[in-house]
């Protein structure tokens, strides 16, 4: 009671903030009026003046009023002039309103400016962009697609170019050199994925500082910030490459899963048909009624999207009985009942948790001759059995354990393949979750459809083998698995920036998440003109059929008046259904969905014309205004019709916001049915009241009123909270990975930009030798005993050198520092001898290459280990342990091992790389050896291999010995040369990449123009 009263008298916090901004707005307007008397050259000179003042100690905050006034005055001067962008010319007619000045200040202060559609967010961003670009650092603006990035960089870029700033735009498929030029500009436009992938390539894949493209992460503005930081945050950015060997068995198991799927479909259809018949005659609460309800519960567990089930649940009494029975089945006290239900089915689907599990009957059906074929063995029991078996000696026990472990891992892989196939068949629906469309070569591919925007996400793939399962289901070519080479979440990428701001039309509903995750406050900026849109209460129907009929009737009615209509749909499937209905009625219309995304700009441009009917998925041209003619404004403006409520209120607000821009008239209404997923899955008992309201309703009748709308919004809040917890949990896991990533990438960048990488190499040498000597020592200061045999073994495997340690008495306690110093001195002396006759620049290149190669190879392996760890720790919950804590503890151990392994491999490679044949021979001749070892023979063989390559005319400068050992040296056909026996080449972990092959980094470009 008190809060609403205080708000009435003092206004909301948002209103008070806007009020506090008014004096600054007035000051900007006064300064802009003063600038109107300046000449063009004087105004343009302001940019250099501001930069000079910053250099003398003033801050960006000191310059804010003058900088904003400069931008506003520039816009005024551009009015009436032609501005060319995207191969077309328009007359500039924009000068920032006061509300846009407020929005610009919110963004500059590191907040989110919520401005309704049509309020000029694109122009608003120019104010803080100009101000922050005065710092000389790269400022970036992130848009949702390449089209908007290019359009805004050219259209709004006219302001910056007028004032002497440079503007760049990063586009997909742009070569590295051109990308670098865009980042060198004062202001750079692009998409979040382009910026993120450039960061990953810079920090995780570049082999020299000349390959780095990004400058810094100073200030970024994110347009449609909710779409990028909320909707896309669940999918991390991943650069992947092909695995060395494909291990999937989706093609093998697909026929079996297809058979068991059809078997379950037949079973569920039989059960639901029997339940229907029983319900026709059964008395409520009788045994026959209970049996029917029990059968319905079975079908809900086996085929939750069964259309007959959805129809039956329209009866309120049946719905309540089913919910009560499901609570009974899933209670802890009735686990045997639950297990009995599972055993009657072939597999069980958990729609809410998006999971699938094969039952005992399903396993027997898939493998009748071996029911245990798809049972995961108890690995601990197997290991204990091997240990206790006295018939095995120690060697046999080790071998048996290895075989048991291999069998266990194989079973895990098989069950994972089957589970993913079941999910593909039962939970992922074509034209809703994905489409099958031809690629540039005409080959059919499974393409993900973004659930929030309706856009086809070409190039993105579902993780954990699900995409391959869908490819098997749809009988298209199954792509090979990939391995992660570099990855980062959207959240952690944008947290790299010193300052982050954003703008959108819909952020208030996610204000808590923006604050908790990013530390961003959301401010609602008032509209320049009052919004006069009429939002009608939801219309709730019993069935989808009744809902669609009502939608078509309303379209006819509104269209007859000449008003344009925008129909928003959640999926491609719904848009196609409504399109068929309209075609049957011979009503002209346009469809915009993932199948027709190429026509987006043209369709949205015409959506505001008189009589236009546009069906669009949620993609609906965000970033492009639907402008109305005077005729349409007089008729009442654009009518927005939602074909359902979406999981998020924010998506609904986006759809409503497509009309009534800048004070234009308009209206909106949503149509909902009890068969919609939102009500079916998440309304739960809140639909009890609605159930009573719909009793006796005809299919064509609807429930209307504020109460129904509020209940639907409550269901949306549940979904929003569930999705927030998923994103938050994902971030908690990635924060562990992020700390490791920061350490590795900082180490990597230090190597790249260092003028003398030898300093870093010697640091690693000193630290590793000292640590190793200490690990092999026992005792206390001044009286250590060192394990001589283990130390000599480590030295022998790490360095191809002879160490004279006879001056140290390992039988007596000693100081370990002199021992470590002697080892380091010997290694440094041999290394300097090795490089004495080599060009310094080549040495620097090789030193960087030695360190980066070891770092990259082991980091990629570490990423795989971390992926496996994250999957495995989920089982910790069974042991009443928090999986996240387990993940953190084991991740710490893995990272400690990674750091040790990186240092070890770098040192091992110090003497295994040379720039020429002469360097190798010189190095070997100058290293004294007490006796010829296997390693001597190896080096002699490598010299012969290198000579053979030289005879073939190959360039052997800067050849790594490890790389050389992997080359397939074939003599010319004209002359057969018998080479001396050499060690068998090391097999590559991945296929050799040739110049015209796609680059393994995932950029889509050829290897020779990317990382070749």
Q: Is 858 left (phi over 0), alpha (psi -120 to 50) or beta?
A: alpha
pLDDT at 245: 67
For residue 972, is pLDDT > 50? no
pLDDT at 693: 54
User: With DSSP H G I counted as helix, E B as strand and the rest as coil, what are the percentages for the chain, rounded to 5?
Assistant: 55, 10, 30
| CA atoms 822, 824, 830, 835: torsion sign | negative
In a domain, 383, yes or no: yes
The more confidently predicted of residues 152 and 451 is: 152
- The pLDDT of 693-703, averaged and rounded, is 67
Map tokens 């190793």 to a residue.
Answer: 772
pLDDT (tens digit per residue) in 2-24: 555 545 545 567 778 888 999 99
- The pLDDT of 788-817, averaged and rounded, is 89
- The pLDDT of 906-928, averaged and rounded, is 62
Least confident among 371-385, 822-836, 839-853: 371-385
pLDDT at 87: 86
In a domain, 901, yes or no: yes
One domain for residues 763 and 849: yes
HSE of 113 in the Cβ direction (CA atoms, 13 Å)?
34
In terms of residue numbers, what domain contains 512?
1-243+492-524
In a domain, 728, yes or no: no
- The pLDDT of 975-990, averaged and rounded, is 32
In a domain, 720, yes or no: no
Where a domain ends, among 892, 916, 940? 916
pLDDT at 674: 81
Q: What is the largest CA-CA distance in the chain?
A: 103
One domain for residues 441 and 412: no
CATH number of the structural domain spanning residue 843: 1.10.3060.10
One domain for residues 696 and 577: yes
Burial degree of 182 (CB within 10 A; 0-12, 13-18, 19+): buried
* CB contact at 8 A, 836 and 899: no
Neighbours of 638 (CB within 10 A): 28
Distance CA 198, CA 708 (A): 48
In a domain, 307, yes or no: yes
pLDDT at 1: 46
Quick one: tokens of 176?
A: 């590295």
Count of structural domains, the chain: 5
One domain for residues 360 and 445: no
pLDDT at 534: 92
Residue 472 Cα to chain centre, angstroms: 24
One domain for residues 540 and 612: yes
pLDDT at 918: 53
> Cβ neighbours of residue 18 under 8 Å, at least 6 residues apart?
102, 523, 525, 526
Distance CA 619, CA 602 (A): 14
Bridge partners of 913, per DSSP, are 960
- The pLDDT of 733-747, averaged and rounded, is 92
Least confident among 445-449, 482-486, 801-805: 482-486
Burial degree of 952 (CB within 10 A; 0-12, 13-18, 19+): middle
pLDDT (tens digit per residue) in 162-172: 999 999 999 98
Quick one: tokens of 61?
A: 């905050």
pLDDT at 244: 65
- Of all helices (H) and strands (E), which one includes residue 681? helix 677-682
Cα distances (Å, whole numbers) of residue 477 to 157, 217, 467, 926? 44, 40, 11, 56
Give the three-class secondary structure for 900.
helix
pLDDT at 825: 94
Percent pLDDT > 70 in the chain is 83
Give the three-class secondary structure for 565.
strand
Percent pLDDT > 90 in the chain is 40
One domain for residues 388 and 275: yes
pLDDT at 182: 97
Where a domain ends, among 916, 932, 960? 916
Q: What is the DSSP letter of 963?
A: H
Pairing of strands 522-524, 539-541: unpaired
pLDDT at 345: 92
In a domain, 711, yes or no: no
One domain for residues 683 and 756: no
* CB contact at 8 A, 453 and 618: yes
One domain for residues 228 and 159: yes
For residue 963, is pLDDT > 60? no
Cα distances (Å, whole numbers) of residue 174 to 486, 501, 544? 20, 26, 46
Quick one: tokens of 676?
A: 């919609």
Bridge partners of 188, per DSSP, are 140, 168
pLDDT (tens digit per residue) in 651-689: 888 888 888 888 889 999 999 988 787 877 665 544 555
In a domain, 926, yes or no: no
pLDDT at 199: 95
Give the three-class secondary structure for 439.
coil
Mean pLDDT (the chain) is 83
One domain for residues 663 and 744: no
pLDDT at 619: 56
Binding residues for ATP: 100, 118-122, 625
CATH number of the structural domain spanning residue 146: 3.40.50.300
Q: How far apart are the first and last CA of the chain?
A: 68
pLDDT at 7: 52
pLDDT at 479: 85
For residue 860, is pLDDT > 50? yes
Where a domain ends, among 412, 427, 442? 427
Burial degree of 850 (CB within 10 A; 0-12, 13-18, 19+): buried
- The pLDDT of 396-422, averaged and rounded, is 86
pLDDT at 598: 53
For residue 954, is pLDDT > 50? no
One domain for residues 519 and 542: no
One domain for residues 239 and 274: no
In a domain, 876, yes or no: yes
Q: What is the DSSP letter of 784?
A: E
Distance CA 803, CA 989 (A): 33
One domain for residues 759 and 843: yes
For residue 933, is pLDDT > 60? no
Binding residues: 100, 118-122, 625
pLDDT (tens digit per residue) in 899-908: 999 999 999 9
pLDDT (tens digit per residue) in 921-931: 555 554 444 44
């Amino acid at each position: 009671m008190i809060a609403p009263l205080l708000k009435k008298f003092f206004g909301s916090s948002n209103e008070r903030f806007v009020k506090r901004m008014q004096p600054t707005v007035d000051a900007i307007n006064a300064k802009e009026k003063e600038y109107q008397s300046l000449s063009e050259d004087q105004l343009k000179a302001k940019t250099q003046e501001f930069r000079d003042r910053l250099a003398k100690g003033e801050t960006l905050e000191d310059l804010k009023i003058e900088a904003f006034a400069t931008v506003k005055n520039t816009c005024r001067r551009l009015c009436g002039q032609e501005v060319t962008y995207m191969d077309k010319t328009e007359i500039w007619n924009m000068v920032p309103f006061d509300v846009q000045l407020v929005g610009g200040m919110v963004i500059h202060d590191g907040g989110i400016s919520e401005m309704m559609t049509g309020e000029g967010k694109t122009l608003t961003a120019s104010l803080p962009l100009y101000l922050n670009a005065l710092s000389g650092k790269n400022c970036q603006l992130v848009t949702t697609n390449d089209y908007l990035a290019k359009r805004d960089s050219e259209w709004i870029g006219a302001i910056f170019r007028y004032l002497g700033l440079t503007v760049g735009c990063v586009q997909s498929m742009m070569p590295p050199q051109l990308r670098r030029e865009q980042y060198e500009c004062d202001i750079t436009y692009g998409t979040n994925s382009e910026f993120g992938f450039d960061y990953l390539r810079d920090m995780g894949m570049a082999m020299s500082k000349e390959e780095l493209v990004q400058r810094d992460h100073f200030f970024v503005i994110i347009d449609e910030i909710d779409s990028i930081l909320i909707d896309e945050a669940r999918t991390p950015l991943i650069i992947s490459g092909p695995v060395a060997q494909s291990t999937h068995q989706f093609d093998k198991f697909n026929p079996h899963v297809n058979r068991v799927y059809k078997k379950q479909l037949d079973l569920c259809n039989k059960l639901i048909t029997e339940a229907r018949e029983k319900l026709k005659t059964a008395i409520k609460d009788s045994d026959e009624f209970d049996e029917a309800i029990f059968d319905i519960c079975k079908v809900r567990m086996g085929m939750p999207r069964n259309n007959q089930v959805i129809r039956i649940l329209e009866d309120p009494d049946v719905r309540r009985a089913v919910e009560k029975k499901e609570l009974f089945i899933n209670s802890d006290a009735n686990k045997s009942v639950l297990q009995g239900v599972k055993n009657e089915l072939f597999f069980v689907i958990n729609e809410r948790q998006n999971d699938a599990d094969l039952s005992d009957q399903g396993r027997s059906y898939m493998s009748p001759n071996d029911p245990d074929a798809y049972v995961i063995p108890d690995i601990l029991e197997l290991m204990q059995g091997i240990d206790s078996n006295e018939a095995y000696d120690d060697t046999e026990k080790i071998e048996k354990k290895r075989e048991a472990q291999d069998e266990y891992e194989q079973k895990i892989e098989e069950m994972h393949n089957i589970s993913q196939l079941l999910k593909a068949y039962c939970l992922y629906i074509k034209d809703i979750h994905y489409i099958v469309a031809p690629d540039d070569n005409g080959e059919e591919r499974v393409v993900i459809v973004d659930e929030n925007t309706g856009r086809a996400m070409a190039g993105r793939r579902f993780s954990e083998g699900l995409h391959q399962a869908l490819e098997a289901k749809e009988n298209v070519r199954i792509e090979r698995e990939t391995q992660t080479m570099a990855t980062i979440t959207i959240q952690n990428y944008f947290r790299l920036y010193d300052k982050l701001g954003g703008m959108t039309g819909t952020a208030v509903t996610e204000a808590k998440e923006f604050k908790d995750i990013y530390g961003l406050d959301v401010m609602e900026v008032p509209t320049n003109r009052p919004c006069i849109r009429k939002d009608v209460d939801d219309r709730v129907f019993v069935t989808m059929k009744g809902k669609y009929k009502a939608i078509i009737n309303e379209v006819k009615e509104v269209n007859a008046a000449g008003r344009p209509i925008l129909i928003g749909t959640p999926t491609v499937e719904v848009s196609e259904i409504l399109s068929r209905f309209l075609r049957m009625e011979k009503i002209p219309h346009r469809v915009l969905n993932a199948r027709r995304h190429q026509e987006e700009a043209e369709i949205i441009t015409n959506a505001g014309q008189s009589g236009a009917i546009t069906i669009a998925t949620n993609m609906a041209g965000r970033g492009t205004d639907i402008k109305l003619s005077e005729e349409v404004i007089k008729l009442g403006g654009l009518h927005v019709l939602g074909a359902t409520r979406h999981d998020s209120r924010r998506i609904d607000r986006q759809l409503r916001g497509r009309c009534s821009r800048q004070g234009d008239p308009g209206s909106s209404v949503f149509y909902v049915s009890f068969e919609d997923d939102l009500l079916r899955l998440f309304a739960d008992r809140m639909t009890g009241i609605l159930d009573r309201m719909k009793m006796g309703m005809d299919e064509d009748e609807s429930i209307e009123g504020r109460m129904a709308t509020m209940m639907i919004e409550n269901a949306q809040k549940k979904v929003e909270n569930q999705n927030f917890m998923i994103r938050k949990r994902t971030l908690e896991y990635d924060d562990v990975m992020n700390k490791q990533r920061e350490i590795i990438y900082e180490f990597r960048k230090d190597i790249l930009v260092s003028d003398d990488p030898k300093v870093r190499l010697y640091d690693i040498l000193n630290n590793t030798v000292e640590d190793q000597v200490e690990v092999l020592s026992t005792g206390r200061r001044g009286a250590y005993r060192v394990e001589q045999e283990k130390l000599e073994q480590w030295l022998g495997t790490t360095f191809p050198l002879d160490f004279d340690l006879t001056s140290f008495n390992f039988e007596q306690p000693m100081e370990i520092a002199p021992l470590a110093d002697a080892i380091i001195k010997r290694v440094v002396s041999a290394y300097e001898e090795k490089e004495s006759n080599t060009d310094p620049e080549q040495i620097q290149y090789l030193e960087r290459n030695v360190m980066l190669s070891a770092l990259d190879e082991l980091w990629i392996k570490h990423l795989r280990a971390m992926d496996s760890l994250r999957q495995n720790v989920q089982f910790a919950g069974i042991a009443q342990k928090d999986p996240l804590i387990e993940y953190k503890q084991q991740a710490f151990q893995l990272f400690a091992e990674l750091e040790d392994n990186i240092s070890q491999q770098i040192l091992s490679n110090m003497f295994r790389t040379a720039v020429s044949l002469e360097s190798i021979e010189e190095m070997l001749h100058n290293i004294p050896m007490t006796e010829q070892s296997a390693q001597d023979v190896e080096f002699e063989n490598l010299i012969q291999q290198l000579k053979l390559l030289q005879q073939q005319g190959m360039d052997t400068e800067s050849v790594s010995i490890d790389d050389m050992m992997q080359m397939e040296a074939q003599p010319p056909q004209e002359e057969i040369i018998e080479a001396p026996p050499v060690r068998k080449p090391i097999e590559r972990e991945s296929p050799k990449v040739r110049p015209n092959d796609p680059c393994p980094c995932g950029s889509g470009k050829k290897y020779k123009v990317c990382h070749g």
